[in-house]
Chains A and B, each alone.
Chain A
Amino acid sequence: MATPTSNIRNFSIIAHIDHGKSTLADRLLETTRTVVGNEMMAQVLDDMELERERGITIKAHAIRMMYERPDGQYVLNMIDTPGHVDFTYEVSRSLAACEGAILVVDASQGIEAQTLSNLYLAIENNLTIIPVINKIDLPSANPDHVADMIGELLGYDPASIPRISAKAGINIIDVLNKIVDEIPAPQGKLENPLQALIFDSVYDSYRGAISYVRVVEGSIRQNTKIRMMKTGAEYLVSEVGTFTMKRNVQQSLEPGEVGYMLANVKKIADIKIGDTVTSIDNPSQTQLPGYKDVKPMIFSGIYPTNPEDYKILRDALEKLQLNDSALSWLPETSEALGFGFRTGFLGLLHMEIVQERLDREFNVDIITTAPNVEYHVFMADESMVAIESPSKLPDPSRYDHIEEPYIQAQIFTPKEYVGPLMKLCEEKRGEFKTMEYLDEFKVILKYELPLGEVMFDFYDRLKSVSRGYAGLDYDPCGYRKNNLVKLDILLNGDPVDAFSVIIHKDKATTYGTAICVRLKDLIPRQQFDVAIQGAIGGKIISRTTVKAVRKDVTAKCYGGDISRKRKLLEKQKEGKKRMKNIGSVEVPQKAFLAVLSLNDAGSGGDDD
């Protein structure tokens, strides 16, 4: 008993981070009785372990709800999206599967960086936008002011914007009714050739690759012979269905419907997010617009801790990519670390999440190197080489100059933090562009900054100088020539390629000293002294030493408590797995990411 297309509504929930998207999703699921009783918990859609631990949404989550009202029964397909800037790609993918978007705005924070960027994405996708003001229960809420601002921005009557509390469950019905009344029903026709958009996918260890599809035209059912229009792969569909809290097998998916599709997919690379699925028997001539390829912003090397695990790592990356299409990778080799992959990410958080997922979901032990941006090296003969890894930088005699990528940053901030934020941007080699008033309290500062400087602690520093109030959005804005040098790190005299960084000349000495001090804390004492040196073009600029240990013995045996010591041994064994032998020096995983924790570095420098 399929719901007529006219009673289907497809929408995403979008907002700046923490404005309450997932909490609103909870209330919608509850009101429509999609989730009942003890299945319910806060941010119930955030089902990934990492999402629950960090309290943020990382993946877009799609779910189907049934909503009854006097004029009929509606199918609402909802996609809850992440708010963090690193996951914007998840938002744009979700929007392409929808006709509408709910734009949630926090009643006390007002319009923030990703409120605007996600709103523009929705407008680009021609979606109907329903603004909602959330957290009206907060004492600091200022819904009238926020309503005026949004009204102005969208040309929407401020008085008709629902003012809700997702947490307290206030005015949720208004939102549901607006979804039905304002978002257009999907357009497609059952008799047309099949066109379905793959908007997401996941690897399931029992069922293989599962595609999440939005049917635009025609229908798809068990035994439909399908072709992926981009990859050309052909398969027989073995199952289709929709997702509520679990997967529900359905006879078919019809125009406007959102669901999953299983086929006995042999090659993971056959499934490409953004591809159009059509039927072989009645093929569509045209593809759906699909997605723009994402360009990674930062790169880092990922290596298996055990060289034998190279293939396992490759497999894991492939499977993870099914569920994270913003991830990209190419094989590379490092003298220090062996065979691995140069991996591209959208930002530091994205990188961290990928590492964690490889570890938790795929159980591979990896070593990750410090992230860097892509540099353009202009050779003596004026040709340009793009390098994604500092170790690939040619000898200085062979190139003329290096260019580094810049971003245009929009910093949203209450006006009292403008001073400290400007100071921070200057420190990061930023170039001031403009300052605009969003309203009488809030300012948008625009700077052009080297991405390489923003990549590390910029976001954290921005948050701390603004007491958490400032937000950041950015877009790439080309490359610029700067005085950049390669800094090498040597362990007992041997350069370790995985530690090399490209850095502005003026900062090299400070940085080199800081990194040596930090590494001294991170590299455990060995049976011999380990000298750590920073060098530019062969010239040593900093040095520290890790003094040798003289024993490694637990003499005391805790009476009969054998368990305690054994468990300790087992734990140390795990720790040992994360060590990499560089020459004869044991280096732990976290040392390769030392640059990310430079601020924790203790005092002191040269110790000998």
Chain B
Amino acid sequence: MIGFYLHVPFCAKVCAYCDFAVLAAPLRVQRRYVELAQREAQIRWSRDAKNQSIRTVYLGGGTPTELQATDLGGLLDGMRAIGLIPPGLAEFSVECNPENLTEDRLATLAENGVDRFSLGVQTLSPRLLEAVGRKSDPDISRAAVERLVKTGSRVSCDLMFSLPGQSVSQFLADLEELTSMGVGHASFYGLSVEGNTLLGQQVSRGDVLAPDDLYADFYRQGVASLESKGIFRYEVSNFSRPGQEGIHNRSYWERREYLGIGPGAHSFLGGVRMGAPKAFSRWASWVEEGCPIAGMSLDPIGPAEARVEAIWLGLRQSAGLDLLAFEEEFSKGLDPKRWREFELADQVRIQDGRLQITGEGFCWIDRIVQTLLS
């Protein structure tokens, strides 16, 4: 059983902080994408994934709902036809932007069995949305949340904090409002300014100030606010009511295999992590050449790599790292000396044979992982 990730590389406008494989493209290009994605899936589903069975589907981007309803339908029909969207999925998630969640698109998604929506809200402050160059309107977000909750599907909201000029109370108010509307899952992360983005350039020119001094406060208080509503952290930046955890995303942290289709999409198959070309044009010609393996970035996961992943991905989850299973897999356990200092500082604990990050420790996870790795 593997996961299936389908990447739709389009957005109405590229946000200032975005460093995903996305572009704002005309309909013509979107249709070409639908064709090429179908071709890639056909080739790689049988060749790389050996027609294993699919457990979860995640339609992400970019913004899948940027496609016209008919194109979206065509894309999903094509995938279903070759077996990539089988009946009886454990989960079928779609990322969408409030702006283009129209009735026809919603209907198409519902017909295809989508049962989880991940809505890119980011913030409910119009000023902050503008500051990060995001084309959005908070009222439309509110309406979209309401509409989705009404369908009875599981709904998650993506939020951001540590935005230029954002205050902690603003962020908490966003969380408060969304949870009161019946959202059962949220993920939030601090803005990270990447050099190759518009925002990155603005920051390095000094046009925008993006201090991260309040980062820990945002995070700490955000977690507390959600948990007080019964929405618990199950991963560094993912929170849900018990039983509503994202199954597909969780499979990444559990180091399960998955097939990724689309520009820049990553796969983990046969013990090898592989990535397709990221730029649309390079991806397109790669697909036209028959998706040669040599055209992908390949990262074979041997024991050394697997060990790093097991520690890092394990600790990201609240459930933590199963020490016994770890010792079995790598025939050498973790040395308790390595986490002693963090245990004394109440940043990790051992519970039921699992090494877990606790409380304040989540603010220092990179340092903890680093120390365990060395």
Chain A residues close to B by CB (< 8 Å): 527, 550-557, 559-563, 565-567, 569-570, 572-573, 576-577
Q: Which residue of A lies closest to B299 (CB)?
A: A563
Known A560-B252, A562-B309, A563-B299; contact A553-B266, beta-carbon cutoff 8 A: no
Cα-based distance from A557 to B20 in the complex (angstroms): 12
Q: Is B103 an interface residue (CB 8 A)?
A: no
Q: Which residue of B lies closest to A577 (CB)?
A: B374
Residues of chain B in range 264-287 having any CB-CB distance to chain A below 8 Å: 265-268, 273, 275
Q: Are B268 and A552 in contact (CB under 8 A)?
A: no
Q: Can you list 25 residue pairs at the A/B interface with Cβ under 8 Å?
A: A550-B215, A551-B364, A553-B366, A555-B236, A556-B192, A557-B252, A557-B316, A559-B60, A559-B266, A560-B5, A560-B267, A560-B268, A562-B252, A563-B266, A563-B275, A563-B299, A566-B308, A569-B366, A570-B308, A572-B366, A573-B370, A573-B374, A576-B370, A576-B374, A577-B374
- Name the distance in Å between B111's Cβ and chain A's nearest Cβ: 26
Q: How many residues of B contact A (CB 8 A)?
A: 42
Q: Are B260 and A560 in contact (CB under 8 A)?
A: yes
A553's partner among B275, B363, B374 (CB-CB below 8 A) is B363
Return chain A residues, CB-CB under 8 Å to B149.
none
Q: Are A566 and B216 in contact (CB under 8 A)?
A: no
Q: How many A-B contacts are there with CB distance less than 8 Å?
A: 88
Hey, what's the 0/1 contact readout for B310-328 against A, CB within 8 Å counting as 1?
0011001000000000000
- Name the distance in Å between B117's Cβ and chain A's nearest Cβ: 17
- Name the distance in Å between A556's Cβ and chain B's nearest Cβ: 5
Q: Is B365 an interface residue (CB 8 A)?
A: yes
11 more A-B contacts (CB under 8 A) besides A552-B365, A562-B252? A550-B216, A551-B216, A555-B219, A559-B20, A560-B266, A562-B266, A562-B309, A563-B266, A569-B366, A572-B366, A572-B370
B313's partner among A551, A562, A563, A572 (CB-CB below 8 A) is A562
- Name the distance in Å between B314's Cβ and chain A's nearest Cβ: 13
Q: Are A569 and B369 in contact (CB under 8 A)?
A: yes
Q: Is B339 an interface residue (CB 8 A)?
A: no
- Name the distance in Å between B202's Cβ and chain A's nearest Cβ: 19
Q: Are B213 and A550 in contact (CB under 8 A)?
A: yes
Q: Are A566 and B305 in contact (CB under 8 A)?
A: yes
Q: Is B237 an interface residue (CB 8 A)?
A: yes
Return chain B residues, CB-CB under 8 Å to A566.
305, 308-309, 312
Cα-based distance from A550 to B60 in the complex (angstroms): 32
Cα-based distance from A557 to B366 in the complex (angstroms): 12
Cα-based distance from A567 to B273 in the complex (angstroms): 12
Cα-based distance from A570 to B258 in the complex (angstroms): 23
Residues of chain B in range 322-374 having any CB-CB distance to chain A below 8 Å: 362-367, 369-370, 373-374
Known A566-B309, A569-B308; contact A555-B237, beta-carbon cutoff 8 A: yes
Return chain A residues, CB-CB under 8 Å to B252.
557, 560, 562
Cα-based distance from A378 to B7 in the complex (angstroms): 76
Residues of chain B in range 217-256 having any CB-CB distance to chain A below 8 Å: 219, 236-237, 252
Known A566-B309, A566-B312; contact A551-B215, beta-carbon cutoff 8 A: yes
Q: Is B190 an interface residue (CB 8 A)?
A: yes
Return chain B residues, CB-CB under 8 Å to A552.
363-367
Return chain A residues, CB-CB under 8 Å to B364.
527, 551-553
Cα-based distance from A129 to B216 in the complex (angstroms): 72
The 6 A-B pairs with the shortest beta carbon distances in the complex, nearest first, are A555-B189, A560-B266, A563-B299, A555-B237, A551-B363, A550-B216
Question: Max chain B CB contacts within 10 Å: which of A550, A551, A562, A563?
Answer: A551
Return chain B residues, CB-CB under 8 Å to A556.
189-190, 192, 237
Return chain B residues, CB-CB under 8 Å to A554.
192, 365-366
Cα-based distance from A565 to B305 in the complex (angstroms): 12
